[in-house]
Chains A and B, each alone.
Chain A
Amino acid sequence: MTTTVTTPTDREIRIQRIFDAPRDRVWRAFTDPALVAQWWGRGNTLVIERMDVKRGGHWRFVEHAPDGVHGFEGRFREVTPPERLAQTFEWDGMPGYVAAETVTFEDLGDGRTRVTTTTLFHTSEERDGMLSAGMEGGVNESYAALDRLLAGLA
Protein backbone atom coordinates (compact mmCIF):
# COMPACT_ATOMS: atom_id res chain seq x y z
CA MET A 1 0.00 0.00 0.00
CA THR A 2 1.22 3.45 -0.82
CA THR A 3 0.91 6.57 1.23
CA THR A 4 0.77 9.75 -0.83
CA VAL A 5 1.79 13.04 0.71
CA THR A 6 1.05 16.39 -0.90
CA THR A 7 1.08 19.98 0.35
CA PRO A 8 -1.90 21.91 -1.04
CA THR A 9 -0.60 25.07 0.69
CA ASP A 10 2.51 25.76 2.74
CA ARG A 11 0.50 25.29 5.94
CA GLU A 12 -1.35 22.22 4.86
CA ILE A 13 -0.45 18.63 4.39
CA ARG A 14 -2.61 15.97 2.76
CA ILE A 15 -1.92 12.30 3.38
CA GLN A 16 -3.80 9.69 1.36
CA ARG A 17 -3.85 5.97 1.66
CA ILE A 18 -6.00 3.14 0.39
CA PHE A 19 -6.87 0.50 2.97
CA ASP A 20 -7.92 -3.00 2.00
CA ALA A 21 -11.08 -2.95 4.12
CA PRO A 22 -14.68 -1.79 3.64
CA ARG A 23 -15.53 1.75 4.66
CA ASP A 24 -17.63 0.79 7.70
CA ARG A 25 -14.71 -1.12 9.21
CA VAL A 26 -12.30 1.73 8.57
CA TRP A 27 -14.75 4.20 10.08
CA ARG A 28 -15.04 2.05 13.21
CA ALA A 29 -11.26 1.79 13.44
CA PHE A 30 -11.18 5.61 13.67
CA THR A 31 -14.15 6.13 16.00
CA ASP A 32 -14.37 3.13 18.37
CA PRO A 33 -11.91 3.74 21.24
CA ALA A 34 -11.26 0.00 21.69
CA LEU A 35 -10.15 -0.20 18.06
CA VAL A 36 -8.27 3.12 18.00
CA ALA A 37 -6.18 1.87 20.92
CA GLN A 38 -4.88 -0.93 18.71
CA TRP A 39 -3.21 1.16 16.02
CA TRP A 40 -3.05 4.87 16.86
CA GLY A 41 -0.10 4.44 19.23
CA ARG A 42 2.20 3.28 16.41
CA GLY A 43 3.00 0.10 18.32
CA ASN A 44 3.36 1.91 21.65
CA THR A 45 0.86 1.52 24.49
CA LEU A 46 -1.94 4.01 24.01
CA VAL A 47 -4.15 5.17 26.85
CA ILE A 48 -7.39 6.75 25.66
CA GLU A 49 -8.24 9.15 28.46
CA ARG A 50 -11.20 10.70 26.69
CA MET A 51 -12.92 10.13 23.40
CA ASP A 52 -16.34 11.65 23.04
CA VAL A 53 -17.08 11.18 19.35
CA LYS A 54 -19.56 13.95 18.67
CA ARG A 55 -19.36 17.58 17.56
CA GLY A 56 -17.57 19.49 20.30
CA GLY A 57 -16.56 16.27 22.07
CA HIS A 58 -13.10 16.16 23.65
CA TRP A 59 -10.49 13.52 22.92
CA ARG A 60 -7.21 12.92 24.71
CA PHE A 61 -4.77 10.10 23.96
CA VAL A 62 -1.54 9.39 25.83
CA GLU A 63 1.12 7.39 24.08
CA HIS A 64 3.78 5.60 26.13
CA ALA A 65 6.79 5.51 23.80
CA PRO A 66 10.37 4.39 24.56
CA ASP A 67 11.47 8.06 24.43
CA GLY A 68 8.78 9.23 26.85
CA VAL A 69 5.10 9.89 27.34
CA HIS A 70 3.32 11.96 24.69
CA GLY A 71 -0.13 13.47 25.14
CA PHE A 72 -2.34 14.42 22.20
CA GLU A 73 -5.73 16.05 22.41
CA GLY A 74 -8.38 18.07 20.68
CA ARG A 75 -12.07 18.35 19.96
CA PHE A 76 -14.24 16.84 17.29
CA ARG A 77 -15.62 19.46 14.95
CA GLU A 78 -17.63 17.22 12.66
CA VAL A 79 -18.72 13.61 12.91
CA THR A 80 -20.55 12.38 9.79
CA PRO A 81 -20.52 8.58 9.67
CA PRO A 82 -19.11 6.94 7.67
CA GLU A 83 -17.80 9.74 5.47
CA ARG A 84 -16.12 12.53 7.32
CA LEU A 85 -14.48 13.32 10.60
CA ALA A 86 -12.99 16.67 11.55
CA GLN A 87 -11.09 17.45 14.73
CA THR A 88 -8.53 19.73 16.21
CA PHE A 89 -5.19 18.23 17.12
CA GLU A 90 -2.66 19.41 19.67
CA TRP A 91 0.47 17.70 20.90
CA ASP A 92 1.73 18.40 24.42
CA GLY A 93 5.24 18.53 22.93
CA MET A 94 4.37 21.63 20.87
CA PRO A 95 2.33 23.86 23.15
CA GLY A 96 0.83 26.81 21.31
CA TYR A 97 0.45 25.03 17.99
CA VAL A 98 -2.91 23.70 16.82
CA ALA A 99 -3.77 21.67 13.76
CA ALA A 100 -7.20 21.18 12.21
CA GLU A 101 -7.57 17.71 10.75
CA THR A 102 -10.23 16.60 8.30
CA VAL A 103 -10.46 12.90 7.52
CA THR A 104 -12.57 11.64 4.63
CA PHE A 105 -13.45 8.03 3.95
CA GLU A 106 -14.15 7.12 0.35
CA ASP A 107 -15.75 3.79 -0.58
CA LEU A 108 -13.89 2.58 -3.67
CA GLY A 109 -16.63 0.02 -4.41
CA ASP A 110 -14.28 -2.97 -4.41
CA GLY A 111 -14.07 -3.53 -0.67
CA ARG A 112 -11.31 -0.94 -0.28
CA THR A 113 -11.43 2.52 1.27
CA ARG A 114 -9.43 5.62 0.49
CA VAL A 115 -8.64 7.67 3.58
CA THR A 116 -7.56 11.27 3.07
CA THR A 117 -6.30 13.32 5.99
CA THR A 118 -5.96 17.03 5.34
CA THR A 119 -4.30 18.94 8.15
CA LEU A 120 -3.99 22.68 8.46
CA PHE A 121 -1.32 23.88 10.88
CA HIS A 122 -1.22 27.18 12.69
CA THR A 123 -0.14 28.72 15.95
CA SER A 124 -2.76 29.23 18.63
CA GLU A 125 -2.26 33.01 18.42
CA GLU A 126 -3.20 32.89 14.75
CA ARG A 127 -6.17 30.66 15.49
CA ASP A 128 -7.41 32.95 18.27
CA GLY A 129 -7.04 35.89 15.92
CA MET A 130 -9.12 34.13 13.28
CA LEU A 131 -11.76 33.16 15.77
CA SER A 132 -12.15 36.60 17.30
CA ALA A 133 -12.24 38.14 13.83
CA GLY A 134 -15.23 35.99 12.89
CA MET A 135 -16.95 36.03 16.27
CA GLU A 136 -20.32 37.70 16.71
CA GLY A 137 -21.12 35.94 19.94
CA GLY A 138 -20.86 32.34 20.93
CA VAL A 139 -18.60 29.45 20.22
CA ASN A 140 -20.71 28.25 17.28
CA GLU A 141 -20.03 31.48 15.46
CA SER A 142 -16.34 30.98 16.03
CA TYR A 143 -16.49 27.47 14.71
CA ALA A 144 -18.48 28.67 11.72
CA ALA A 145 -15.75 31.20 10.99
CA LEU A 146 -13.12 28.51 11.23
CA ASP A 147 -15.20 26.27 8.99
CA ARG A 148 -15.40 28.98 6.36
CA LEU A 149 -11.72 29.61 6.64
CA LEU A 150 -10.91 25.92 6.27
CA ALA A 151 -13.34 25.53 3.37
CA GLY A 152 -11.57 28.36 1.59
CA LEU A 153 -8.18 26.80 2.10
CA ALA A 154 -9.09 23.19 1.33
Chain B
Amino acid sequence: MVQYSPRLGDAFAAVADPTRRGILERLGRRDASITDLATTFDMTLTGMKKHVRILEDAGLVVTEKLGRVRTCTLGPRRLDDLAAWIAKYQEMQNARFNRLADFLERTKGESS
Protein backbone atom coordinates (compact mmCIF):
# COMPACT_ATOMS: atom_id res chain seq x y z
CA MET B 1 0.00 0.00 0.00
CA VAL B 2 2.72 2.46 0.93
CA GLN B 3 5.62 2.88 -1.47
CA TYR B 4 8.91 4.30 -0.26
CA SER B 5 11.48 6.03 -2.35
CA PRO B 6 15.01 4.62 -2.20
CA ARG B 7 16.03 7.70 -0.18
CA LEU B 8 13.90 6.44 2.66
CA GLY B 9 16.37 3.66 3.41
CA ASP B 10 17.09 5.39 6.68
CA ALA B 11 15.83 5.75 10.21
CA PHE B 12 12.53 7.36 9.17
CA ALA B 13 11.45 4.43 7.07
CA ALA B 14 12.70 2.04 9.70
CA VAL B 15 10.54 3.57 12.40
CA ALA B 16 7.52 4.18 10.17
CA ASP B 17 6.40 0.67 11.03
CA PRO B 18 4.69 0.11 14.41
CA THR B 19 6.32 -3.32 14.92
CA ARG B 20 9.77 -1.86 14.41
CA ARG B 21 9.05 0.91 16.88
CA GLY B 22 7.96 -1.81 19.30
CA ILE B 23 11.21 -3.69 18.74
CA LEU B 24 13.25 -0.54 19.53
CA GLU B 25 11.22 0.05 22.65
CA ARG B 26 11.76 -3.58 23.72
CA LEU B 27 15.52 -3.41 23.05
CA GLY B 28 15.67 -0.17 25.00
CA ARG B 29 14.82 -2.18 28.09
CA ARG B 30 17.03 -5.21 27.48
CA ASP B 31 18.96 -6.97 24.68
CA ALA B 32 17.08 -9.82 23.05
CA SER B 33 17.62 -12.64 20.59
CA ILE B 34 15.71 -12.76 17.31
CA THR B 35 13.80 -15.74 18.72
CA ASP B 36 12.79 -13.73 21.81
CA LEU B 37 11.60 -10.88 19.61
CA ALA B 38 9.67 -13.19 17.30
CA THR B 39 7.90 -14.66 20.33
CA THR B 40 7.18 -11.27 21.87
CA PHE B 41 5.69 -9.90 18.66
CA ASP B 42 4.00 -13.17 17.69
CA MET B 43 5.83 -13.42 14.37
CA THR B 44 7.72 -15.97 12.35
CA LEU B 45 11.50 -15.98 12.63
CA THR B 46 11.74 -15.01 8.96
CA GLY B 47 9.41 -12.06 9.45
CA MET B 48 11.33 -10.86 12.50
CA LYS B 49 14.69 -11.24 10.73
CA LYS B 50 13.39 -8.94 8.00
CA HIS B 51 12.40 -6.24 10.49
CA VAL B 52 15.70 -6.54 12.35
CA ARG B 53 17.66 -6.27 9.09
CA ILE B 54 15.86 -3.01 8.21
CA LEU B 55 16.64 -1.62 11.68
CA GLU B 56 20.23 -2.81 11.35
CA ASP B 57 20.65 -1.14 7.93
CA ALA B 58 19.39 2.10 9.46
CA GLY B 59 21.98 1.84 12.26
CA LEU B 60 19.28 1.60 14.89
CA VAL B 61 20.09 -1.97 15.90
CA VAL B 62 23.29 -4.00 16.05
CA THR B 63 23.27 -7.79 16.01
CA GLU B 64 25.95 -10.23 17.08
CA LYS B 65 25.98 -13.98 16.62
CA LEU B 66 27.15 -15.89 19.69
CA GLY B 67 27.08 -19.61 19.02
CA ARG B 68 23.67 -20.30 17.55
CA VAL B 69 21.96 -17.24 18.99
CA ARG B 70 21.84 -13.85 17.30
CA THR B 71 21.53 -11.11 19.90
CA CYS B 72 20.11 -7.70 19.09
CA THR B 73 21.06 -4.51 20.89
CA LEU B 74 20.29 -0.87 20.20
CA GLY B 75 22.66 0.58 17.62
CA PRO B 76 24.78 3.74 17.65
CA ARG B 77 22.06 5.77 15.96
CA ARG B 78 19.46 6.53 18.62
CA LEU B 79 15.97 7.44 17.69
CA ASP B 80 15.34 10.98 18.82
CA ASP B 81 11.95 12.48 19.63
CA LEU B 82 11.80 14.33 16.36
CA ALA B 83 12.23 11.17 14.31
CA ALA B 84 9.63 9.41 16.45
CA TRP B 85 7.22 12.26 15.93
CA ILE B 86 7.75 12.25 12.18
CA ALA B 87 7.07 8.53 12.08
CA LYS B 88 3.91 8.98 14.14
CA TYR B 89 2.78 11.84 11.91
CA GLN B 90 3.26 9.74 8.83
CA GLU B 91 1.23 6.91 10.30
CA MET B 92 -1.62 9.30 11.23
CA GLN B 93 -1.57 11.01 7.85
CA ASN B 94 -1.76 7.69 6.07
CA ALA B 95 -4.76 6.66 8.18
CA ARG B 96 -6.42 10.01 7.46
CA PHE B 97 -5.95 9.64 3.72
CA ASN B 98 -7.48 6.16 3.85
CA ARG B 99 -10.51 7.64 5.62
CA LEU B 100 -10.71 10.51 3.16
CA ALA B 101 -10.69 8.09 0.22
CA ASP B 102 -13.54 6.15 1.86
CA PHE B 103 -15.44 9.36 2.56
CA LEU B 104 -15.12 10.62 -1.02
CA GLU B 105 -16.22 7.24 -2.33
CA ARG B 106 -19.21 7.15 0.02
CA THR B 107 -20.40 10.64 -0.87
CA LYS B 108 -19.89 10.30 -4.62
CA GLY B 109 -22.74 12.01 -6.49
CA GLU B 110 -23.88 13.98 -3.45
CA SER B 111 -23.90 17.73 -3.81
CA SER B 112 -21.48 18.23 -0.92
Contact = CB atoms under 8 A, between A and B. Distances in A.
B102 interface: yes
Contact of A2 (B1, B81, B95, B108): B1
Nearest to B102: A39
B26 to A, nearest CB: 19
Nearest to A9: B7
Query: How many interface residues does chain B have, given as a range?
Result: 20 to 34
Interface string B79-94: 0011001100110111
B96 interface: yes
A17 B85 contact: no
B103 A42 contact: no
Contact of B96 (A25, A28, A40): A40
Interface residues of A, number: 37
A94 B85 contact: yes
A119 interface: yes
A15 B85 contact: no
Contacts of A115: 97
Interface in B98-112: 99-105, 107-108, 112
B82 A21 contact: no
Contacts, number: 93
A94 B1 CA distance: 28
A19 interface: yes
Contacts of A39: 96, 99-100, 102-103
B105 A20 contact: yes
A2 B112 CA distance: 25
A20 B101 contact: yes
Contacts of A26: 104
A13 B7 CA distance: 11
Contact of A5 (B4, B10, B99, B102): B4
Contacts of B97: 3, 15, 17, 115
Contact of A94 (B7, B81, B101, B105): B81
B62 interface: no
Contacts of B101: 1, 17, 19-20
Given A5-B4, A40-B99, 8 more contacts: A6-B4, A7-B5, A19-B104, A21-B104, A39-B96, A39-B100, A43-B95, A119-B93
